[in-house]
Structure 1
Amino acid sequence: MQVPSPLTELRDERLNARDVRLYLKRDDLISPDIPGNKWRKLKYNLVAAREQGQHTLLTFGGAYSNHIRATAAAGARFGFDTIGVIRGEEHRPLNDSLARAVQYGMRLAYLDRTTYRRKTEPDVLDALADEFGDFYLLPEGGTNTLALKGCMELPAEIAPDFDVLCCACGTGGTLAGLAAGLRPGQHALGFSALKGGEFLAGDVRRLQIAAFGAETGNWSIDFDSHFGGYAKRTPELDDFVTDFRVRHDVDLDRVYVAKMLHGVFTRVQEGEFAAGTAIVAVVTG
């Protein structure tokens, strides 16, 4: 595990023109199999599972869930059995993501979409316990109060002074944790990967209150950088990814990271960051 993850400053004339500095926090390089915020969210959950004497991790996700694959990898690495409860019907052959999870020893189960929407209700969890026995429950996407504790550690790894810390938002957990780790005067800016993601603001507040007793108030969310919705892409986004690879030799994940960085550069070019601003963007994987 490469923790702290590397920090690199980008050299780009678009930044120079606005006197803005931009660093990439390369959490994608923490581990090839448990990258970025996946590791930070899992870290203290693995500790809790061990302390509770649990030997099995059970979690939920879609058929292409990175969280499912990361949980399987973490289980294999740290000695836990793993169960992935997948939304929808089983399809064969398995896609690459689920095939990799199975290679790590994960047992897959499937819930129809109606039941999956009720996955946190007692009768559904009781049925899973009847089938699989005792387990440590990880929520879909890995976001809970212990996940925030792990994400909260990231800002302290950044040596240079900075003003704004940017990340992509899916559940809001990473943003909620990062904001709690900032020093006074610093701001966390999330970029929703979801169309209609305004509900995330309420989720971030609730997560912070549950984890820390109060919301921090030092964060905001950009709701306009979703490119049509979760996992959607457009020629503009594809062109940005290609150009970024040519300029900086970094391949960007299109679901989350590319949308976030496109939003950052758009704000830079529109003058939304004052001259002299130092920004850190988290590459979550």
Structure 2
Amino acid sequence: MDTSRSILQKVRFSLENCEPFTFWIKRDDLIDPVVSGNKWRKLKYNVEKAKHQKSKGILTFGGAFSNHLIATAKVCKLNGLNSIGVVRGDELTNESNATLKKCTEFGMELQFVSRSDYKKRYEYDYLYQLRDQFSQFFIVPEGGANFYGAIGCQEILQETPNDFKHVYLAGGTGTTAVGVISSAPSVTKIHLVSALKGDFLGDEVLKGLQNLSYNEAESHSSYKQLILNTNHHFGGYGKVNQELINFINTFYQQTDIPLDPVYTGKAMYAMLQDYREGLISKDDKCLFIHTGGIQGAKKWSDQLLFVTS
């Protein structure tokens, strides 16, 4: 994947009853139409590890509309590796939706499991069974949420100037945030907008930082840079309302930049809301990391202006 496509773009967005806000976007969504944004960042070193170990391929996990699954399938195909996707929902088939069809086209073998079995994906005994059954495969957690995924995400800020006061990004597992925080200047505030209900994401980020540094004091010091936003999930993971759809369409009309309703749309909404409320000012240099995921927006093709069915 060519990360040089991920440009730093200056954007000016007009808001009602408020001064326009000027900020920067790291366009990781431009890396690849399928393996875009943090999907490639989190896979890059996992693929290198699999190849170094001379693994037959990669086994990973995801839901029916998983951007991570389809990205893994394509990356493995490009690198001469086999891929296996453990999919949540034993009622599904390879033909259930466009995402699963595309995974199959890229050569991924799909293993459909019950939701109860899927919940075991982090349990030692369950992973031991998978390692025994697929002994030649390198196992990557859901979303690429491991040490190698975080290391890959460190490169996002390494490609940008280091004078941003605020950095905003969406999060599901917290892995991207771990990479971003661990590579950011100590004075930079990292705003992680959770796409899910609950405040557990903060704990996941701290665990990830500890896994990276093995230094308790350093991990806690870095963690203080995190500002966790749990107020803009719009009802939970994958939940969308008309207000969010309208915002994404307005943003696209003004900037020609697409956002997805699951992650980046919510994060951008949160950042602009912080601006409205005075939590960040027009003089603050702010960066928004576009983590991709546009492939998943096809689910709302009848409502989003930039999506063609």
Cα distance change of structure 1 residues 281 and 121 upon mapping to structure 2, 3 Å threshold: same
- Name the amino acid aligned to 2:287: V
Instruction: State the SS of the aligned residue for 2:250.
Output: helix
Give CA-to-partner distance per residue, 1:10-68, whole Å, 9 cap, x none: 12234995585311111111111211101000111111111111121000111111111
CA contact (8 A) 2:88 2:113 kept: yes
CA contact (8 A) 1:28 1:283 kept: yes
Select 1:234's aligned residue among 227, 241, 248: 241
Instruction: State the SS of the aligned residue for 2:61.
Output: strand
Structure 1 partner of 2:273: 266
Distance 2:14 2:63 in 1: 40
The 5 Å alignment of 1:159-178 reads 159=161, 161-178=163-180
Q: Identity rate of aligned residues, in percent?
A: 36
The 5 Å alignment of 1:65-104 reads 65-92=66-93, 93-104=95-106
Distance 1:45 1:126 in 2: 19
- Name the amino acid aligned to 1:177: G
Give CA-to-partner distance per residue, 1:119-144, whole Å, 9 cap, x none: 23344334334543421000011110
Distance 1:159 1:15 in 2: 30
Structure 1 partner of 2:113: 111
Is 1:35 aligned with 2:42? no
Bigger relative contact order (CA 8 A; separation at least 6): 1
* Pairs aligned (count): 284
Instruction: State the SS of the aligned residue for 2:111.
Output: strand
* Unmatched segments (≥5 aa) in structure 1: none
CA contact (8 A) 1:162 1:279 kept: yes
CA contact (8 A) 1:19 1:276 kept: no
Is 1:8 aligned with 2:9? yes
Relative to structure 2, which stretch is displaced further, 259-268 or 129-138? 129-138
CA contact (8 A) 1:15 1:22 kept: no
Distance 1:70 1:164 in 2: 29
* Unmatched segments (≥5 aa) in structure 2: 293-309
Deviation (angstroms), 1:90 = 4.0
Cα distance change of structure 1 residues 272 and 59 upon mapping to structure 2, 3 Å threshold: same
Structure 1 partner of 2:195: 193
Relative to structure 2, which stretch is displaced further, 42-51 or 5-14? 5-14
Distance 1:19 1:184 in 2: 28
Structure 1 partner of 2:137: 135
Instruction: State the SS of the aligned residue for 2:236.
Output: coil
Distance 1:133 1:184 in 2: 42
Relative to structure 2, which stretch is displaced further, 254-263 or 106-115? 106-115
- Name the amino acid aligned to 1:210: N
Distance 2:186 2:137 in 1: 40
CA contact (8 A) 2:50 2:138 kept: yes
Instruction: State the SS of the aligned residue for 1:11.
Output: strand
Structure 2 partner of 1:150: 152
Deviation (angstroms), 1:233 = 0.8
Give CA-to-partner distance per residue, 1:135-178, whole Å, 9 cap, x none: 10000111101111111111121137311111001011111110
Instruction: State the SS of the aligned residue for 1:10.
Output: strand
CA contact (8 A) 1:58 1:85 kept: yes
Distance 2:238 2:130 in 1: 29
Give CA-to-partner distance per residue, 1:199-251, whole Å, 9 cap, x none: 11111001110112242121111110111111111111011011111111122
CA contact (8 A) 1:154 1:178 kept: yes
The 5 Å alignment of 1:41-80 reads 41-80=42-81
- Name the amino acid aligned to 2:45: Y
- Name the amino acid aligned to 1:228: G
CA contact (8 A) 1:18 1:271 kept: no
The 5 Å alignment of 1:215-226 reads 215=219, 216=222, 217-226=224-233
Cα distance change of structure 1 residues 17 and 2 upon mapping to structure 2, 3 Å threshold: farther
- Name the amino acid aligned to 1:33: V
Distance 1:88 1:10 in 2: 40
- Name the amino acid aligned to 1:100: K
Distance 2:187 2:130 in 1: 46
